[in-house]
């Protein structure tokens, strides 16, 4: 479950596993820039996922305070007490 009480101030020694970035033309889920500084640029829009029916499941889960497990399948994540740290 996503806990808004968790922040960098509370968890300063833990790394962000991935970032979830929202843009006007779509969204991007990527490894943390700290872990992977060679991230592709989002300037051309080719790396963005569109806001469509397929993304509806993702956003519904986020509203409920959860992340769908399949998101984490392709991103190496570090777990802390059963939780993953995501930067939005």
Confidence of residue 43 (pLDDT cuts 50, 70, 90): very low
* Model confidence, pTM: 0.62
Mean pLDDT of 21-46: 66
What is the pLDDT, as a whole number, of residue 41? Answer: 47
What residues make up the domain containing 75? 18-87
In a domain, 8, yes or no: no
pLDDT tens for residues 45-71?
457 889 998 888 888 888 887 777 777
**Dihedral sign, Cα of residue 69, residue 73, residue 77, residue 82:** positive
**11 domain-assigned:** no
Total structural domains within the chain: 1
Average pLDDT over residues 25-42: 65
């Amino acid at each position: 479950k996503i806990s808004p009480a968790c922040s960098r101030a509370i968890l300063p020694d833990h790394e962000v596993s991935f970032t979830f970035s929202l843009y006007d033309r779509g969204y991007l889920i990527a490894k943390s820039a700290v872990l992977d500084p060679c991230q592709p640029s989002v300037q051309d829009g080719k790396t963005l996922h569109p806001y469509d029916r397929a993304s509806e499941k993702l956003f519904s889960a986020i509203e409920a305070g959860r992340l769908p497990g399949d998101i984490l399948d392709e991103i190496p994540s570090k777990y802390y007490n059963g939780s993953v740290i995501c930067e939005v």
